[in-house]
Amino acid sequence: MWRASILTLYPDMFPGPLGTSLSGDALARGTWSLETHNIREHGLGRHRAVDDTPAGGGPGMVIRADVLASAIDAALPAGDERPRLLMSPRGRPLTQARVRALAAGPGVAIVCGRFEGVDERVIGARGLEEVSIGDYVLSGGEIASLVLLDACVRLLPGVMGKEASGSEESFEGGLLEYPHYTRPREWEGLAIPETLLSGDHARIARWRADEARRLTAERRPDLLKGD
Ligand code: ADE
């Protein structure tokens, strides 16, 4: 079983949308498991404080190293071989290649940051790898971790209805996906491209490859340059 352990201040946000549809069915079947750990349980004092003001001053609050380390040590046994990720806009951007590698492994342990961030010392001391889901700032790592989990879970054996639909989609071939059409043949005066109705499979394959390249050049030239 592929195992996900989540350290968060908001365990109620899980499984959230992953409890429905294909990922929810797979969770119920035991294809993967989800375990949440509330960082607050390791908070200090009567108010279970988990954060404090930044050293050097400035806005916001920072999650304390001692509190987060104690939450990590309680949740993750020493021999646990799963990658330890910290969702953060500062992280290395998540890619489909990384998703594929994570899905092929034993699972993930994910720390969800909040506030301005977490004390830098705990990142190194507990071997956390910062991962970003894109160049924008969310209010915390929870939704980012749901995104990462969704991308991984759909690749687990038996989760996708049709095996092929997992591999042919955008990015797996390094290009954006070609356009899709279905019935009706004409809709609001718009026809389906004639090639797709030709029954000529070689010609259809060529049309799709051309369209994928054209769309990628137009929208994501960075993918063609291989950077
Ligand atoms: N937490 C806040 N913003 C984030 C992002 N873009 N990616 C991952 N975690 C985040």
Any residues with Cβ below 6 Å from ligand 1, and which? 87-89, 113, 132-134, 136-138, 140-141, 144
Contact yes or no for 179/211 (Cβ under 8 A): yes
Atom of ligand 1 nearest to the CA of 137: 3
Q: Where in the chain is the domain with CATH 3.40.1280.10?
A: 2-153
Q: Is the pLDDT of residue 227 over 80?
A: no
Distance CA 223, CA 225 (A): 6
Distance 178 CA to ligand 1 centre (A): 29
Band of residue 226 on the pLDDT scale cut at 50, 70, 90: low
Percent of the chain with pLDDT over 90: 91
Class for the domain spanning 2-153: alpha beta
Distance 116 CA to ligand 1 centre (A): 11
Q: Where in the chain is the domain with CATH 1.10.1270.20?
A: 169-224
Whether the pTM exceeds 0.85: the reply is yes
Distance CA 194, CA 169 (A): 23
Least confident of 66-80, 91-105, 163-177: 163-177
Distance 219 CA to ligand 1 centre (A): 23
Distance 182 CA to ligand 1 centre (A): 36
Summarised one tens digit per residue, pLDDT across range 111-126 is 999 878 999 999 999 9
Query: What is 169-224's CATH topology?
Result: Trp Operon Repressor; Chain A (1.10.1270)
